[in-house]
Structure 1
Amino acid sequence: MDQYRRDFIKLTGLGLASAALPQGASGMPAVRAAGPQQFNMCNYAAPKLETVRIGFIGLGNRGMAAVERMNKIAGVEIRAVCDLREGKVNEAIQLVAGNGHKPQGYHTSPDAWKKLCERGDLDLVYIVTPWALHTPMAVFSMNHGKHVCVEVPAAKTIDECWELVETSEKTRKHCMMTENCCYDFSELLTLNLARQGFFGEITYAEGAYIHNLQEYVFDKERFYQMWELKELSQRTGNLYPTHGLGPICQVMNINRGDAMDYLVSMSNNDFVMAGTARSLAANDPDFKPFVGKPFNGMMNTSTIRTKKGKTIMVQFDVASPRPYSRIQLVSGTKGAALKYPEPARIAQGHEWLSPEAYKALETEHTPPIVKKIGEAAKQVGGHGGMDFLMDWRTIDCLRNGLPLDQDVYDAALWSSIGPLSEWSVAHRSNSIDVPDFTRGSWKTNAPIDISMEKGGTTGVRL
């Protein structure tokens, strides 16, 4: 990228040179310039809430699971639930009735969720809907005085990323993307060891979302109205980066001591999904709209360089018949950690530690949150317990007036890899600057507090 182009992107605040393409050709609209930071939401502690009153929007597979988890956390009142399907609303109401929750159901129209957000008796709106609705619902909720938990990715475009940031700063309401993989036990151990200097200075990391989802995305019942299949047939890039990226960013203190600088991204062709769509369409007219669509490539690889000269690789593949992997490689000047293929491993030299040595290290350096609530999380479940750890920690922070582990800048940055990668892929893998959603505050923002020296007072209903 020549200096003129870099200067243009920085001056406009785009992080995208969309003007080089006809409107819509890259799947991204022109991006407005961002104004000055209104308020720094990093490490912001909102006033404590004795009871966290929650409304849920979206009661599909993950939405209903979120309702079930929150139903097991003390200090929570589930007051409203919303979905397009009346049956799902009734199921959620019945699910929580045993713990004394009496939520009002909303399902009468596609805009019924707005009535939920407008209520004056909610503190938190939990959004688990198709991707395109995440930002509009989160922004509307914050503008109506609610904190927000929103599923990944929090935004689909750079414009939406900035809208989340600006709204959170203006309203001083938390906007947390529910990146559950930051609470996986292995990732938490790696983060705790990194904080203690075990790996030295972290210089390189790899993350991924490699998960063969074909049987799910072509299942008409799995994703309501086949919304995820539509995403995969309309966009080409690293569309779901946050599961692999989130834990890495926390380990590398991205937005809190370092920042992403620029990105390059490359995708191969689709060799499977278009053929599957054609085959299904021969007998099912519901799949005919997908015939001839340019499905996302089998594998996308995106690489990111940080302001301090460190690098990150993030991959995305939901079509190849491969074992599940988020990679989770962390490499430093004194050691390394790798989660996949399991079992997780740690090294401080040419060989991985023996299973016995790993276990001893894990026992000695068990993260404080795992000591506090880990066993209860495993009993509740949700991806091995990490989903419950995430929800419990969020509620405990809100009830004790503590900063959340993930803020709106994380939500925007981690989500931005999707549209940035789309641009790079469409431009022969040219590099593109990553917007600084903190507007320079990354230089002084403190790392997240994982000590658990404050809070930890919220109980669990097993």
Structure 2
Amino acid sequence: MPHIPAVSRRLVLGGALATGALAAGVGGAQASPVAQGGAVPAALPKRRPGQKSMIDVPYAAHRTVRVGVIGLGNRGSGMAEGWSVVPGCTVTAVCDIRADRAKRTADRLVATGKPRPAEYGGSDESFAQMLKRDDIDLVYIATPWEFHYRQGKAAMSAGKHVIVELPIATELDELWDLVDTSERTRRHLMLAENCSYGRNELAMLKMAHEGLFGDITNGHGGYLHDLRELLFSDTYYTDSWRRLWHTRSTASFYAMHGLAPIAAAMDINRGDRMTVLRATATEPRGLADYRERFVPRSHPSWRETYVNGDLVTCLIDTAKGRVIRAEHDVSSPRPYSRINTLAGSRGIFEDYAGVMATDGGRIYVEPDHGGHSWRAADAYRKEFDHWLWKKIGDDAANNGGHGGMDYVLQWRTVQLMRAG
């Protein structure tokens, strides 16, 4: 695939991140300055002398990939078990601010016949002690969002590669600092975007790269997930960390689930790049309405004011004239969807299409179809099934969450590190 010059690589980060709300909030306003016709200037830091990009830099080959896990709540504990069953991988250390979670995760690994990992916990600085170990090659981070930047930077500075749940950071200067830290330490920093490894998403990627849709013109993805009950739960998100983000800023907190597969199909940073982002949001209504109907007045959430719009929409232009629409809504009653739509000059694929949907989504491509009628995409998914799913689909179904895509993400990461 074609390489992007260094200046373009940094321009795409500046353009995409500095002009909207994908990673950082846009304050209390209901639309970004770009959406209102203005422009947010992007400061593009210069590389230090001798500093080079980490794009396409291979790993040193590892016989066994040794993983340390930071964050053992709902997500991290499950992923710790996932890492442990990937061939050529072992979990050597686990860490959580709550020491009982580290013990619980270690006990579960032992119960499945795995070696007991070292346990760290008891404070929000316990991770720093874990990072001193010399038997960790890859650090996986699944803590609340506000900790990702500091923990990711510390792990790279300690000589570890890092894979972190989204978002990687929440402030623009933090994102630039992580880029620089990765380049300076020569350690990879990866987003654990499991949705890029879904079976439909990877089939769509293969269809796009083999020209089924002609010239790609636009994509539409999102994270539409009714989380209201979980957001107000006293146990699901520790200290209500996720709900509290809705009191801090107007932002598309979780856009990457729908955006990343579209970006991959468009070869973003591999031939195309994002140039402009416009963001807008509805008024915040969903969380307050849910609280009014279902949450007792004694609950601490009644002291909160929600500012994030229920639906946050980002429109992104690319250098090749494409448009991506990325949406985020976790505050409204609606069926789950990542939308996952890709269109071009010869056809369109759409996932999550409601009553018309099958396991493979729906499709309309020329010259196969006509009459303005959607067709089930199952046959196309079978024809364009990605080699990863052909190779490890059964293992993924038996070992991974979210339909197996968690395992595919973990398996590919480990095998890349083993191959070098």
Structure 1 position 264 matched with structure 2 position 283: no
- 1:247-262 equivalences in 2 (<5 Å): 247-262=261-276
Which residue of structure 1 aligns with residue 70 of structure 2? 57
What is the percent sequence identity of the aligned residues? 35
What is the CA-CA distance between 1:274 and the residue it aligns to? 2.3
The AA in structure 1 aligned to 2:395 is A
Cα distance in 1 for residues equivalent to 2:43 and 2:316: 23
Which residue of structure 2 aligns with residue 224 of structure 1? 238
- 1:374-453 equivalences in 2 (<5 Å): 374-401=393-420
Cα distance in 2 for residues equivalent to 1:17 and 1:386: 31
Cα distance in 2 for residues equivalent to 1:51 and 1:227: 35
Distance 1:31 1:139, change over 3 A: farther
8 A contact 1:202–1:333 mirrored in 2: yes
Which residue of structure 1 aligns with residue 86 of structure 2? 73
From 297, 301, 325, give the equivalent of 1:287: 301
Cα distance in 1 for residues equivalent to 2:294 and 2:347: 49
- 101-110 or 226-235, which deviates more: 101-110
8 A contact 1:71–1:99 mirrored in 2: no
Structure 1 position 337 matched with structure 2 position 346: no
Which residue of structure 1 aligns with residue 5 of structure 2? none
Structure 1 gap segments, 5+ residues each: 1-9, 19-23, 402-462
Which residue of structure 1 aligns with residue 365 of structure 2? 348
- 97-106 or 128-137, which deviates more: 97-106
8 A contact 1:273–1:295 mirrored in 2: no
8 A contact 2:287–2:306 mirrored in 1: no
From 312, 320, 323, give the equivalent of 1:311: 323
Residue aligned with 2:328, SS: strand
8 A contact 1:31–1:158 mirrored in 2: no
Cα distance in 1 for residues equivalent to 2:256 and 2:416: 22
Q: Aligned Cα RMSD in Å?
A: 2.4
Distance 1:31 1:280, change over 3 A: farther
What is the CA-CA distance between 1:69 and the residue it aligns to? 0.8
The AA in structure 2 aligned to 1:46 is Y
From 48, 71, 83, give the equivalent of 2:61: 48
What is the CA-CA distance between 1:352 and the residue it aligns to? 5.1
What is the CA-CA distance between 1:247 and the residue it aligns to? 0.3
Cα distance in 1 for residues equivalent to 2:199 and 2:76: 22
Residue aligned with 1:71, SS: helix
8 A contact 2:234–2:240 mirrored in 1: yes
Q: So what's the TM-score if we normalise by structure 2?
A: 0.85
Cα distance in 1 for residues equivalent to 2:56 and 2:373: 36
Cα distance in 2 for residues equivalent to 1:59 and 1:32: 36
From 160, 163, 175, give the equivalent of 2:174: 160
Structure 1 position 84 matched with structure 2 position 129: no
The AA in structure 1 aligned to 2:343 is S
8 A contact 1:58–1:83 mirrored in 2: yes
Runs of 4+ aligned structure 1 residues displaced above 6 Å come to none
Cα distance in 2 for residues equivalent to 1:76 and 1:381: 15
Structure 1 position 369 matched with structure 2 position 382: no
- 1:104-119 equivalences in 2 (<5 Å): 104-119=118-133
Distance 1:17 1:96, change over 3 A: closer
Residue aligned with 2:56, SS: coil
Q: Greater relative contact order (Cα 8 A, min sep 6): structure 1 or 2?
A: 1
Distance 1:25 1:203, change over 3 A: closer
- 328-337 or 269-278, which deviates more: 269-278
Cα distance in 1 for residues equivalent to 2:322 and 2:233: 40
Which residue of structure 1 aligns with residue 196 of structure 2? 182
Structure 2 gap segments, 5+ residues each: 1-10, 21-25, 33-40
What is the CA-CA distance between 1:100 and the residue it aligns to? 3.1
Structure 1 position 130 matched with structure 2 position 144: yes
8 A contact 1:237–1:266 mirrored in 2: no
8 A contact 2:364–2:375 mirrored in 1: no
Cα distance in 2 for residues equivalent to 1:376 and 1:51: 19
Q: So what's the TM-score if we normalise by structure 1?
A: 0.78
From 186, 199, 202, give the equivalent of 2:216: 202
What is the CA-CA distance between 1:338 and the residue it aligns to? 0.4
Distance 1:218 1:115, change over 3 A: same
Cα distance in 1 for residues equivalent to 2:409 and 2:266: 20
